[in-house]
Amino acid sequence: MKCPGFLQLIDYLENRLEKKSADVVAAHLTAGCERCLSSREWYERVRTVADSDLRNDPPTWVVKRAIRTFEGRPVQPRTSPFGRIVASLLFDSFARPLIAGVRSTETANRQLLYEAGDYNIDLQINCPDQNRGTVWGQVLRKDEIGFQSVSGVTLKLTRKGRSSHTSSANDFGEFALNAVPVGEYDLEISTGEGKIIVSPLSIKSH
């Protein structure tokens, strides 16, 4: 079975799927898909932290859920190119202390959230060994209803000025960069309005 989308996996974990769809996702997880099992473990940790967080800012999954709820409504055309912008780091799961009882379930996945103008970049990095890692995630435009601005955006990892890996996002802004040698990189995301630079992006085992 093809991996369920991130939002579908959340709906399954929150018991929002119909039984038929829930059974399909459950069977997929039972089959041992490492990526989806890792995403489930990460979401459960985030939900635990969010439940203990007294701030008013909603967790990322709530924003994504709201976007999907209103998907399909008209979107105003974009007319504000920004050229090139460097993303700012908002959250790093390896830097934030975890509450009691959470660390015992921690995996090797690193969760990063960046902001660049009107865009959010949600990244996960996994290094199952000392030599290579996988980077996957999603690009979202914060004020857009739907995914028109992030569908098909191109991504490029560069190292010391040389291109290393390239990928294109799917219709929901989701992407993956596989078998990336450990090291320091720059991630360049090309949208219709300009280029977003995530730098430096460290890919290494923790």
Tens-place pLDDT, residues 138-165: 999 887 777 888 999 999 999 988 999 9
The answer on 43 and 59 residing in a single domain is yes
CA–CA distance from 32 to each of 5, 36, 86, 96, 112 (Å)?
Answer: 16, 8, 37, 29, 24
Q: Look at residues 68, 83, 104 and tell me which one is the last residue of a structural domain.
A: 68
With CA atoms as reference, report the closest residue to 140 among 177, 87, 101: 87
Structural domain total, the chain: 2
162 in a structural domain? yes
159 in a structural domain? yes
Each residue's pLDDT tens digit, 80-130: 677 899 999 988 888 755 444 444 344 468 889 999 999 999 999 998 888
Place of tokens 């989308």: 5
> Rounded CA gap, 91 and 95, in Å?
8
Domain encompassing residue 197: 74-203
Confidence (pTM)? 0.59
The answer on 192 and 94 residing in a single domain is yes
The answer on 102 and 64 residing in a single domain is no
Whether residue 178 has pLDDT greater than 80: yes
The answer on 187 and 138 residing in a single domain is yes
The answer on 61 and 157 residing in a single domain is no
Each residue's pLDDT tens digit, 9-68: 888 888 888 898 899 999 999 998 888 888 888 778 777 765 655 455 555 555 565 555
The answer on 193 and 100 residing in a single domain is yes
Q: How far from chain centre, in Å, is Cα 12?
A: 18
